[in-house]
Every structure is written in structure tokens, then in C-alpha cells.
Structure 1
Amino acid sequence: MRVQPVPRSDADASDADAMDRFIAEWGEARPDIDVHYLATLGRILRLSTHLREAVDDWLKPFGLSWDVFDLLVTIQRSGNPEGLRPTALYDACLLSSGAMTNRIDRVEKLGLAVRRPDPDDKRATRVALTRRGRTLAEKAMTEHAAQSCRIAEQLTASEQETLARLLRKLLRSFEEPESDEGA
């Protein structure tokens, strides 16, 4: 059954964006499919692209890519001066172990982090920030936070809370394991 998009009132016309046009065009081109999901998921995908481009621009003055920044601030926010084990890093950064190894290699070559023996398990290693890595992570995170706040301030505090709650609900549907009802 096809769900009809909610009609827009004249008062909403000034709020129209490119997704409104895409939804209308898809509704015409494919009336046999339900395209109402574009009103939310299409905007999330489009916003994700814009945000990634903006973050890349914020990080350029620091000579960082998103991948390097993500690794640096993940180690920094742990608060552990000994650093983190690679397994903790790939879990936190949502990467495979191979991808994390490549990322650690890059950050180490840049002189921003070092691998050290794990003081709790001599068979394991930890990745810790160098002084330069810590300084760069702090500066880049300060800029990232300021720019992110500037974007978030397009919404009221109440709108931010509502959006966060709704996005959390969608994220949990992907990130929480499904329960085994029969187990």
C-alpha cells in the first residue's frame, strides 16, 4: 500500500528544500513505490554528506583527515595516558582490525601516535598519542566543537533534544543486537 506524502501548506513553501523536489519527482516517476521515507532518511543522508564535507574543511588547517582526527580524539577522550589497545580502537571507530592497523600505521608515520607494549599484558600493544598528537587533537577538537555548535544552533534547544532522541532511536535499530526471543 502506497502512503501519500503529507501535503504541504502554503506556509511551508518558504521552508522547501531540494528533498521536497526530489520527493515530488520520485512520486511522479514511480507512483508504484512509497517515497515518503525520503522526507527523513533522504535528508539524513544528504545532511551527512554536507557535514562530512564541512568537517573535512575544518580539519584542513590542521593537516588532518577525518580518519586521522577520529583516531586521535578517540585515544584522547579515553583519558588513558597509556593509550588504547587496537581492539578498543577498532570497536570505538567501527572499523575492521585490518583497517585499524592501516590507520594506526598512518598516524604513527605522521608522528602523532606510537605503539607501546601494554603494561598489563606484555603480549599486547597500546596506541598512545605523542605530545604533538595530543596538542593537535586538542586544537582540532576545539575547532570541531565550535563549528558543530554553530551548526546545531540552527535549532532551538528543544528541537535539538527532539532530534537527538529520534536519531538515537534510528541508530539503536542498527547498533543494538536483536534479542533472541526464543532463547
Structure 2
Amino acid sequence: MSRKTTERADDAVDAILRQWARERPDLDVSPMGPIGRLKRCAALLEQALAANFARLELSVWEFDMLATLRRAGAPYCLSPTELFSTLMVTSGTMTHRLKRLEERGWIERLPNPQDARSLLVRLSADGLARVERAVETHVEAERALLAGLSAEGLATLDAQLSRWMVALESRAAPDPDPDPGTEA
């Protein structure tokens, strides 16, 4: 049975692996390959996505907040705790971000009818219009970033990353900020 090998060009991680092989031939540094490539891909993806959002006069975190509210469905409203849990930021960061989005006119903070001590966060009409345009542009930008992969390769990559993410999440430490606060 012959094994089909895929030719590929060397990348920056290959050079690092060769250096380690030269300097520490006693050490198997092969785990550095996939982890280094994922880290480099993540950095390049963040750059490309940030540039796309900048064209829309949005930052990555602004899009994340608006998109989280939009994904919640009509009336596009969540508690700060629900936002906090989804976005994995500290309560202080959440408070600052909500204030910024409110100043830009993209969200509204409303009294919570179930709890008079807390507020709800809702997309404003301007925020909804902005995220509707942004999500379309975002999906096209992501499609372009994935264009170099075949459909089969992309499906395999997605499945493998999903399995790995589940494994990593099961090993993750508990949240260091268990009290996201109810006021934002």
C-alpha cells in the first residue's frame, strides 16, 4: 500500500523546527509545528478580519458584541451576564465596552422587567443596521480567507479543529472572574 504525500512549500515554522533540530537534536519538537502554524494563522486571520472591520468603522470587539446581540434573535436583547458569558471578557471590560457602544448609538440599556436591580442590553436600530451590513461583509471576508483550501480539505480541517477544541475546552481552567456583575 503506497502512501500519497502532499507537496507543500516550506513556511516560517519549518525554519524554526530546523533550527531546534540543529540546536536540540535530543528533543522532539514536532508539537511546535501544528501549534506554531495555528498561532501564526490566528495572527494573520486577526489582522485580515480587523482590516475588514476597520473598513466598516468597527473594531473586532464591537462586531463581536453587536453580532452576539443579533444572534440572540428579536428583540436583540441580552443581560450583561449573558453577554459576558458568551464573549469571555471581564465585567470591567464589559462595562467599558457597553458604554462605548451606547455612546456610538448602537445599543440601548433598558430596565430589566424581571429584576429591577439590573439592566438589559438591546441593539438600537442603528446597531442592527450596522451589524446586518457587517455580518455579510464578514462572511465574504472569511470565505476569501479560506479560498486556498479545497472543500474536502476545509471539511477535514474543520472536523479536526472541532475535536481538538472540545478536548482543550474540557481541560480549561475555571473562569477566574466568576461574578460578571449584573450592572453594566
TM-score by structure 1 length? 0.84
| Residues 1:114 and 2:108 are matched in the alignment | yes
Structure 2: which amino acid aligns with 1:81?
Answer: P
Q: Aligned residue for 1:172?
A: 166
* Paired residue total: 168
Partner of 2:44: 50
Kept in 1, the 8 Å contact 2:75–2:122? The answer is: yes
Counterpart mapping for 1:116-131 below 5 A: 116-131=110-125
Greater shift in the superposed pair: 26-35 or 98-107:
26-35
1:181 matched residue in structure 2: none
Whose helix proportion is higher, 1 or 2?
A: 1
**Letter of the aligned partner of 1:117 in structure 2?**
P
1:132 to 2:126 alignment:
yes
Name the aligned partner's letter for residue 43 of structure 1. Answer: R
2:69 touches 2:76 (CA, 8 Å); kept in 1?
no
Aligned to 1:68: 62
Q: Does structure 1 residue 30 correspond to structure 2 residue 8?
A: no
Structure-2 separation of matches of 1:154 and 1:119: 49
SS at match of 1:40: helix
* 8 Å CA contact 1:117, 1:124 repeated in 2: yes
CA deviation vs aligned residue, 1:114-143 (integer Å, no higher than 9, x gap): 111123333221111111111111111111
- Residue 19 of structure 1, aligned match among 13, 20, 25: 13
Residue number in structure 1 paired with 2:178: none
State the distance in 1 between where 2:171 and 2:25 align.
35
C-alpha deviations, 1:23-59, integer Å up to 9, x for none? Answer: 1112212334321112211100000000000011101
Q: Which amino acid aligns with 1:171?
A: M
Higher relative contact order (CA 8 A, sep 6+): 2
SS at match of 1:31: coil
Query: What amino acid sits opposite 2:77 in the alignment?
Result: G
| Alpha-carbon RMSD | 1.8
Structure 1 outlier segments of 4+, above 4 Å: none
Identity across aligned pairs (percent)? 31
What one-letter code is carried by the residue in structure 2 that aligns with 1:134? L
Q: 123-132 vs 23-32, which deviates more?
A: 23-32
Unaligned runs of 5+ in 1: 1-8, 179-183
Please say if 1:99 is aligned against 2:98.
Answer: no
C-alpha contact 1:82 1:126 (8 A) present in aligned 2: no
Q: Structure 2 unaligned runs (5+)?
A: 173-184
Confirm or deny that 1:161 pairs with 2:155: yes
State whether residues 14 and 33 of structure 2, in contact with CA within 8 Å, keep that contact through their aligned partners in structure 1. yes
What is the Cα deviation at residue 177 of structure 1?
A: 6.0
Whole-angstrom distance in 1 between the partners of 2:156 and 2:147: 14
